[in-house]
């Protein structure tokens, strides 16, 4: 798998693994996003976590629609859980993991 074009600083990764992993835990993505603006590693994962959280919120509103909305919500929730778990594991292991689809949107965030 190709690595993102982000400078790979071993010290940055080692010092910030925990905050990068927290990025995939719902609204907690705001903590690393705002606390570690100087860490490229944390920002990479926090922006993906923010996009994931925004999509989770949008899909939760779809749950209001009877039957179809609830089915969409159920499958989407399983996908979000899988992406979150993989994201936490990859961030904790020091990997620059590009979450499917989410990564493309996270590159557009400028904070």
Are 60 and 83 within 8 A, CB to CB?
no
Kindly state the DSSP code that residue 65 receives in the 8-state scheme.
S
pLDDT of residue 110: 87
Residue 56: name the closest of 76, 28, 83 by CA. 76
Tokens 């994201």 belong to 87
Q: Angle of helix 40-62 relative to helix 68-92, nearest 10 degrees?
A: 170
Tens digits of pLDDT across the chain (111 residues): 445 545 558 888 999 999 999 999 999 999 999 999 999 999 999 999 999 999 999 999 998 999 999 999 999 999 999 999 999 999 999 999 999 999 999 999 888
């Amino acid at each position: 798998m190709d690595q993102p074009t982000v400078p790979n600083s071993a010290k940055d990764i080692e010092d910030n693994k925990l905050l990068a992993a927290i990025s995939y835990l719902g609204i907690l993505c705001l903590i690393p996003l705002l606390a570690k603006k100087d860490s490229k590693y944390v920002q990479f994962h926090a922006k993906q976590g923010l996009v994931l959280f925004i999509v989770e919120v949008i899909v939760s509103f779809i749950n209001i629609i009877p039957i179809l909305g609830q089915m969409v919500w159920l499958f989407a929730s399983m996908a979000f859980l899988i992406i979150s778990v993989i994201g936490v594991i990859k961030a904790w292991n020091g990997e620059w993991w590009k979450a499917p689809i989410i990564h493309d949107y996270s590159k557009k965030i400028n904070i």
